[in-house]
Structure 1
Amino acid sequence: MARRGKKPKGRPVSGWVIFDKPFGMGSTEAVAKIKWLYFAQKAGHAGTLDPLASGMLPIALGDATKTVPFVMDGRKTYLFTVRWGAETTTDDAEGPVTNASDLRPSREAIEALLPNYTGDISQVPPNFSAIKIEGERAYDLARAGESVEIAARTVSVHDLAITAMPDDSTTVFSAECGKGTYVRAIARDLGRDLGCFGHITELRRTSVGGFGEDDMVTIEELMDAADEGLEELDAEAIEAGSKPRVVRFEALDEFVLDAATALSDLYEVPLSEEQTGRVLSGNPVLLRGRDAPAFCDEAYATGHGRLVAIGSIDQGSFHPKRVFGGRG
């Protein structure tokens, strides 16, 4: 007799939680926290955010994890503060100082260099980064005291500007970057070019792909929502050591965005009820409407306002590649 597959533990909740990660929390820790709060079967994030950084960490639940690559490929915006006069091993305030200088750059000197850091540029990622070297994370090798050599690679910086200069030693920047760009490396390289050295003291991510600041939710908001769903326990149960758990998820689920919100840059194919059934079975459907494209490499289909599938359009028909069967 064939053994049945093990039923996944948790709820089949699907969608995006745009988490406002606090300073000091790691990305893996954040995903685990959100997965626990939602009692989700599956969770993953779209782009690591350092523990010493705060801000947007998009976390996908359930079927929405299939849309993670589309978010990771999107542009990201940051606000970051650079302290001039010292370079560190980690390119932020965590590591020891390796180079120091009494020089301090003027606003004019900094702005004169900014065009060199926009467009497609060559960048060497920090030694303390998640880059893999022969299967090992660079930061693990660096912490073990091993020599780390990371090759330069081309990244895209779409915009880089000064937003404030509180004092001679401090400059606040805004940046809009493509996938794989390290803002810490920008601070390091700017400091070297200016001859004064520099490192990041504060870093906050404010957008990822189509997600903006208005989409973010804090840990405090999520915990308050979880508290609304706690079951009532009588005094006898509490004395016996029982712990309350979330039994109603309505308040928490208000913060879950549909999986389709990750695909705002793709062409949308609205489906009828009949077409939705065909696509969910993996079958193509003919598109109607004068404005429907005949060909499209990547598109997504929705039915009743929910994500049904990701696929392509060929000769006027939508062909599903990834089908979404849960809430998302």
Structure 2
Amino acid sequence: MARRRKGRDISGWLVVDKPAGLTSTAVVNKVRWALQAQKAGHAGTLDPLATGILAVALGEATKTVPYVTDALKCYRFTVRWGEATNTDDAEGEVIARSDERPTAEEIEAALPAFRGEIMQVPPQFSAVKIDGERAYALAREGESPELAARPLWVESLELVDQPDADHAVFEMVCGKGGYVRAVARDLGEALGTHGHVTALRRLWSGPFEEEDAISWEELEALAQSPELDARLLPLEAGLAELPELRCTAEGAARLRNGNPGMVLNADAEYGETAWASWQGRAVAVGTYRAGELHPTRVFRG
């Protein structure tokens, strides 16, 4: 007999403005406790140094996490020139120094090479797995793991401020799997110096923005109260960037049983991922084909 989960069967999204110093896992655990929820997960890790938007899914909404994780995200970050660290951020040890400092014109000239489809080598202190072990675990043991370059889509990368010769502030919109720390490292090398991240904030993540977020102080103050329940966004918020296809009652019943179901409109292209709704509620996510949705994930009604 399966063990029954403790907590409430509650579904939806709580968007948290993560403070610096906490892991993403710690935030998820706090949200689960604050809402007494059975199940929770987040859509995209933030480093402990980072602040900003961390979207936490609860219950049935965890089935929509991949669609938020795959969506574009926006970061504002500060790079410190002239120093490389072993973690590529301010939490690591300085391993190299340079007296070179790039001008604004030199920075602007280097940025186009970091836009579009690029290849990026993750930081050695990262969660990438090498022969079953995390790269950061190997790095902590003094090893220098060889990490393969991976493709990353960078929608935009702009210089937004240069407060002094040692620092520059950027905004970047990128796809899944990007490391801002690696951008700072590689940009420093391209400019003939070194660079590491000293501040990082996620401004938005897929459909979730700062205006949707609850602060850490609010989360603690409203824990286990109806007021916190009221801050939940619906499950459907995680599907906002996918086409919505309305279905009939019969179609909804078929979809909930895992079978293809007829949809009433075709705002999606053939073969595109979309979601079906019945009376305003998500029924399933799947592939649209000739008037039907073929489900890959089904939501409990």
The equivalent residue for 2:6 is 9
Distance 2:188 2:159 in 1: 14
Runs of 4+ residues deviating >6 angstroms: none
Q: Are residues 309 and 117 of structure 1, via their aligned partners in 2, closer, same or farther at CA, if it must alter by over 3 Å?
A: same
The equivalent residue for 2:233 is 257
Identity over aligned pairs, percent: 51
Query: Aligned to 2:278, which of 280, 303, 306?
Result: 303
Q: Deviations over 1:115-136 (max 9, x none)?
A: 1111111211100111111111
Amino acid at match of 1:163: V
Q: Deviations over 1:91-141 (max 9, x none)?
A: 111111111112211100111100111111121110011111111111111
Q: 1:35 is paired with a residue of what secondary structure?
A: helix
Contact (CA 8 Å) 1:293, 1:316: kept in 2 or not? Answer: no
Q: Are residues 288 and 155 of structure 1, via their aligned partners in 2, closer, same or farther at CA, if it must alter by over 3 Å?
A: closer
Query: Aligned to 1:132, which of 129, 136, 144?
Result: 129
The equivalent residue for 1:75 is 72
The equivalent residue for 1:315 is 290
Residue 153 of structure 2 corresponds to residue 164 of structure 1: no
The equivalent residue for 1:178 is 175
The equivalent residue for 1:280 is 256
Contact (CA 8 Å) 1:294, 1:315: kept in 2 or not? Answer: no
The equivalent residue for 1:53 is 50
Contact (CA 8 Å) 1:292, 1:316: kept in 2 or not? Answer: no
Contact (CA 8 Å) 1:310, 1:321: kept in 2 or not? Answer: yes
Question: What TM-score do you get using the length of structure 1 for normalisation?
Answer: 0.87
Distance 1:154 1:320 in 2: 29
Q: Deviations over 1:25-78 (max 9, x none)?
A: 001111111111111111111111100111111111111111111111111110
Q: Deviations over 1:130-170 (max 9, x none)?
A: 11111111111111112211011221111111111111111
Q: Deviations over 1:287-324 (max 9, x none)?
A: 335x5668343211122322221122323123333211
Structure 1 unaligned spans of 5+: 227-245
Distance 2:43 2:269 in 1: 31
Amino acid at match of 2:227: A
Alignment RMSD: 1.7
Q: Deviations over 1:257-316 (max 9, x none)?
A: 112211222221223455434433334332335x56683432111223222211223231
Distance 1:252 1:125 in 2: 37
Query: Aligned to 2:110, which of 110, 113, 120?
Result: 113
Structure 2 unaligned spans of 5+: none
Distance 1:119 1:169 in 2: 27
User: Across the two proteins, how many residue pairs are aligned to each other?
Assistant: 301
Distance 1:268 1:74 in 2: 16
Contact (CA 8 Å) 2:157, 2:173: kept in 1 or not? Answer: yes
Query: Aligned to 2:140, which of 130, 135, 143?
Result: 143
1:79: Cα distance to partner? Answer: 0.3
Q: 1:159 is paired with a residue of what secondary structure?
A: strand
Distance 1:31 1:292 in 2: 34
Query: Aligned to 1:204, which of 187, 194, 201?
Result: 201
Question: What TM-score do you get using the length of structure 2 for normalisation?
Answer: 0.94
Amino acid at match of 2:172: A
Contact (CA 8 Å) 1:294, 1:317: kept in 2 or not? Answer: no
